[in-house]
Amino acid sequence: MQTLHLLVEGEGDMKAAPILLRRLLHETHARYDWQVDPKHTMKVWGLAKLRSRLSDYIEHLRNKPACHGAMILLDLEDQLPCEEAPALAEEIAALQPLPFPVVVVFACREFESWFLASLGSIANGSELFTSGLTYPNDPEAKRGAKEELDKRMPPLVKYKEVLHQAEFTKLLSFEEARRAPSFQRLERALGELLTAVDADGGAGVISPRRR
Protein backbone atom coordinates (compact mmCIF):
# COMPACT_ATOMS: atom_id res chain seq x y z
CA MET A 1 0.00 0.00 0.00
CA GLN A 2 1.40 3.39 -1.01
CA THR A 3 0.85 6.47 1.11
CA LEU A 4 0.00 10.03 0.07
CA HIS A 5 0.90 12.70 2.61
CA LEU A 6 -0.90 16.05 2.68
CA LEU A 7 0.06 19.50 3.92
CA VAL A 8 -3.11 21.51 4.44
CA GLU A 9 -4.37 24.85 5.72
CA GLY A 10 -6.37 24.36 8.91
CA GLU A 11 -8.38 22.16 11.23
CA GLY A 12 -11.29 21.49 8.87
CA ASP A 13 -8.93 20.50 6.07
CA MET A 14 -7.36 17.85 8.30
CA LYS A 15 -10.54 15.77 7.90
CA ALA A 16 -11.88 17.02 4.58
CA ALA A 17 -8.76 16.86 2.41
CA PRO A 18 -8.11 13.13 3.03
CA ILE A 19 -11.75 12.41 2.18
CA LEU A 20 -11.47 14.35 -1.07
CA LEU A 21 -8.21 12.71 -2.12
CA ARG A 22 -9.47 9.24 -1.26
CA ARG A 23 -12.58 9.88 -3.36
CA LEU A 24 -10.47 11.06 -6.30
CA LEU A 25 -8.13 8.09 -6.01
CA HIS A 26 -11.01 5.61 -5.85
CA GLU A 27 -13.72 7.17 -8.02
CA THR A 28 -11.58 8.76 -10.74
CA HIS A 29 -8.49 6.57 -10.88
CA ALA A 30 -9.72 3.29 -9.34
CA ARG A 31 -6.52 3.32 -7.31
CA TYR A 32 -7.13 1.33 -4.17
CA ASP A 33 -3.41 0.73 -3.71
CA TRP A 34 -3.00 4.20 -2.19
CA GLN A 35 -3.95 5.37 1.29
CA VAL A 36 -4.46 8.90 2.59
CA ASP A 37 -5.61 9.56 6.11
CA PRO A 38 -5.70 12.33 8.74
CA LYS A 39 -2.66 10.68 10.35
CA HIS A 40 -0.81 11.36 7.08
CA THR A 41 -1.97 14.98 7.05
CA MET A 42 -0.11 17.95 8.51
CA LYS A 43 -1.59 21.38 9.28
CA VAL A 44 0.65 24.28 8.18
CA TRP A 45 -1.67 27.29 8.69
CA GLY A 46 -1.38 28.81 5.22
CA LEU A 47 1.18 29.78 2.61
CA ALA A 48 3.04 32.43 4.59
CA LYS A 49 3.63 30.14 7.55
CA LEU A 50 4.54 27.25 5.27
CA ARG A 51 7.16 29.39 3.53
CA SER A 52 8.59 30.57 6.85
CA ARG A 53 9.45 26.97 7.77
CA LEU A 54 9.51 25.32 4.36
CA SER A 55 12.75 23.42 4.84
CA ASP A 56 11.47 22.02 8.16
CA TYR A 57 8.21 20.80 6.63
CA ILE A 58 9.97 19.21 3.66
CA GLU A 59 12.50 17.55 5.95
CA HIS A 60 9.60 16.23 8.02
CA LEU A 61 8.19 14.59 4.89
CA ARG A 62 11.59 13.22 3.96
CA ASN A 63 11.84 11.47 7.30
CA LYS A 64 8.50 9.74 6.95
CA PRO A 65 9.29 6.05 6.48
CA ALA A 66 6.28 5.41 4.24
CA CYS A 67 5.77 8.52 2.11
CA HIS A 68 5.39 7.75 -1.58
CA GLY A 69 4.08 11.17 -2.63
CA ALA A 70 3.05 14.48 -1.11
CA MET A 71 0.50 17.15 -1.95
CA ILE A 72 0.46 20.69 -0.61
CA LEU A 73 -3.18 21.81 -0.66
CA LEU A 74 -3.84 25.35 0.58
CA ASP A 75 -6.23 28.26 0.10
CA LEU A 76 -5.06 31.27 -1.90
CA GLU A 77 -7.43 34.14 -1.22
CA ASP A 78 -6.10 37.03 -3.29
CA GLN A 79 -3.00 35.87 -5.18
CA LEU A 80 -2.97 33.97 -8.46
CA PRO A 81 -2.52 30.19 -8.21
CA CYS A 82 -0.88 30.12 -11.65
CA GLU A 83 1.91 32.32 -10.23
CA GLU A 84 2.20 31.15 -6.64
CA ALA A 85 2.09 27.40 -7.28
CA PRO A 86 5.14 27.27 -9.58
CA ALA A 87 6.94 29.77 -7.33
CA LEU A 88 6.49 27.49 -4.32
CA ALA A 89 7.45 24.47 -6.41
CA GLU A 90 10.72 26.21 -7.31
CA GLU A 91 11.43 26.87 -3.64
CA ILE A 92 10.91 23.19 -2.87
CA ALA A 93 13.05 22.14 -5.84
CA ALA A 94 15.89 24.31 -4.51
CA LEU A 95 16.07 22.16 -1.38
CA GLN A 96 17.69 18.74 -1.20
CA PRO A 97 15.90 16.42 -3.68
CA LEU A 98 13.18 14.19 -2.31
CA PRO A 99 12.79 10.49 -3.13
CA PHE A 100 9.13 11.01 -4.06
CA PRO A 101 7.07 13.57 -6.01
CA VAL A 102 5.49 16.69 -4.53
CA VAL A 103 2.58 18.54 -6.16
CA VAL A 104 1.36 22.00 -5.16
CA VAL A 105 -2.34 22.88 -5.40
CA PHE A 106 -4.05 26.10 -4.36
CA ALA A 107 -7.81 26.39 -4.02
CA CYS A 108 -8.51 29.74 -5.64
CA ARG A 109 -9.97 31.85 -2.81
CA GLU A 110 -10.98 28.97 -0.51
CA PHE A 111 -11.57 25.23 -0.35
CA GLU A 112 -15.21 26.25 0.11
CA SER A 113 -15.23 27.76 -3.40
CA TRP A 114 -15.42 24.16 -4.60
CA PHE A 115 -18.55 23.72 -2.47
CA LEU A 116 -20.17 26.69 -4.22
CA ALA A 117 -19.29 25.15 -7.59
CA SER A 118 -20.89 21.89 -6.49
CA LEU A 119 -23.73 23.33 -4.43
CA GLY A 120 -26.34 21.43 -6.44
CA SER A 121 -25.11 18.01 -5.36
CA ILE A 122 -24.34 19.15 -1.82
CA ALA A 123 -27.79 20.71 -1.38
CA ASN A 124 -29.50 17.57 -2.66
CA GLY A 125 -27.65 15.46 -0.11
CA SER A 126 -27.70 17.71 2.94
CA GLU A 127 -30.60 18.73 5.18
CA LEU A 128 -28.91 22.12 5.67
CA PHE A 129 -29.94 23.36 2.22
CA THR A 130 -33.07 23.49 0.11
CA SER A 131 -33.04 20.68 -2.44
CA GLY A 132 -32.36 21.93 -5.94
CA LEU A 133 -30.32 24.91 -4.73
CA THR A 134 -27.40 25.91 -6.99
CA TYR A 135 -24.80 28.67 -7.18
CA PRO A 136 -24.80 29.93 -10.79
CA ASN A 137 -22.10 32.58 -10.31
CA ASP A 138 -18.37 32.09 -10.75
CA PRO A 139 -17.39 30.28 -7.52
CA GLU A 140 -13.87 31.70 -7.62
CA ALA A 141 -14.71 35.27 -8.56
CA LYS A 142 -14.41 36.78 -5.10
CA ARG A 143 -13.62 36.04 -1.48
CA GLY A 144 -16.38 35.00 0.87
CA ALA A 145 -17.35 31.44 -0.07
CA LYS A 146 -18.04 30.63 3.58
CA GLU A 147 -20.35 33.64 3.83
CA GLU A 148 -22.17 32.58 0.67
CA LEU A 149 -22.78 29.18 2.26
CA ASP A 150 -24.01 30.90 5.43
CA LYS A 151 -26.63 32.81 3.44
CA ARG A 152 -28.11 29.58 2.12
CA MET A 153 -28.14 27.65 5.40
CA PRO A 154 -30.99 27.76 7.94
CA PRO A 155 -31.38 30.79 10.22
CA LEU A 156 -28.98 30.76 13.17
CA VAL A 157 -26.83 28.09 11.47
CA LYS A 158 -23.37 29.22 10.41
CA TYR A 159 -20.88 27.32 8.28
CA LYS A 160 -18.09 25.93 10.45
CA GLU A 161 -15.12 24.17 8.88
CA VAL A 162 -14.74 21.63 11.67
CA LEU A 163 -18.45 20.77 11.54
CA HIS A 164 -19.34 20.94 7.85
CA GLN A 165 -16.25 20.72 5.64
CA ALA A 166 -15.86 16.95 5.76
CA GLU A 167 -19.63 16.38 5.38
CA PHE A 168 -19.86 18.60 2.30
CA THR A 169 -16.74 17.02 0.80
CA LYS A 170 -18.45 13.63 0.87
CA LEU A 171 -21.36 15.10 -1.14
CA LEU A 172 -19.34 17.17 -3.62
CA SER A 173 -19.81 16.30 -7.30
CA PHE A 174 -16.56 16.24 -9.26
CA GLU A 175 -18.38 17.15 -12.46
CA GLU A 176 -19.92 20.23 -10.85
CA ALA A 177 -16.73 21.17 -8.97
CA ARG A 178 -14.87 21.37 -12.28
CA ARG A 179 -16.56 24.73 -12.82
CA ALA A 180 -13.73 25.94 -10.58
CA PRO A 181 -10.42 25.91 -12.52
CA SER A 182 -8.46 25.28 -9.33
CA PHE A 183 -10.39 22.03 -8.81
CA GLN A 184 -9.35 20.98 -12.30
CA ARG A 185 -5.76 21.70 -11.25
CA LEU A 186 -6.25 19.45 -8.21
CA GLU A 187 -7.33 16.60 -10.47
CA ARG A 188 -4.41 17.15 -12.85
CA ALA A 189 -1.92 17.34 -10.00
CA LEU A 190 -3.05 14.04 -8.55
CA GLY A 191 -2.78 12.46 -12.00
CA GLU A 192 0.75 13.85 -12.38
CA LEU A 193 1.76 12.41 -9.03
CA LEU A 194 0.38 8.96 -9.83
CA THR A 195 2.05 8.94 -13.24
CA ALA A 196 5.40 9.92 -11.74
CA VAL A 197 5.26 7.25 -9.05
CA ASP A 198 4.14 4.57 -11.49
CA ALA A 199 6.95 5.42 -13.93
CA ASP A 200 9.98 5.32 -11.65
CA GLY A 201 8.98 6.36 -8.15
CA GLY A 202 8.87 10.05 -8.99
CA ALA A 203 12.05 11.03 -7.17
CA GLY A 204 12.73 14.75 -7.53
CA VAL A 205 9.46 15.51 -9.36
CA ILE A 206 7.96 18.83 -8.26
CA SER A 207 4.81 20.24 -9.90
CA PRO A 208 3.84 22.64 -11.35
CA ARG A 209 6.75 24.13 -13.28
CA ARG A 210 6.67 27.58 -14.82
CA ARG A 211 5.53 27.60 -18.42
- Of the pLDDT bands very low, low, confident and very high (cuts 50, 70, 90), residue 65 is confident
- Of the pLDDT bands very low, low, confident and very high (cuts 50, 70, 90), residue 79 is confident
For position 172, what pLDDT does the model report? 98
Domain that holds residue 130: 2-203
Kindly tell me if the per-residue pLDDT of 10 is higher than 90.
Answer: yes
Is residue 135 a part of any domain in this protein?
yes
* Model confidence pLDDT, tens digit, residues 140-151: 998 999 999 999
Which whole number is the average pLDDT over 54-73?
95
* Model confidence pLDDT, tens digit, residues 153-189: 999 999 999 999 999 999 999 999 999 999 999 999 9
pTM: 0.96
CA nearest neighbour of 102 among 48, 139, 61 = 61
CA distance 12 to 166: 7
Is residue 74 a part of any domain in this protein?
yes
> Mapped to the 3 state alphabet, what secondary structure does 112-139 carry?
HHHHHHCHHHHHHHCCCCCCCCCCCCCC
Is residue 211 a part of any domain in this protein?
no
Is residue 208 a part of any domain in this protein?
no
Structural domain count, the chain: 1
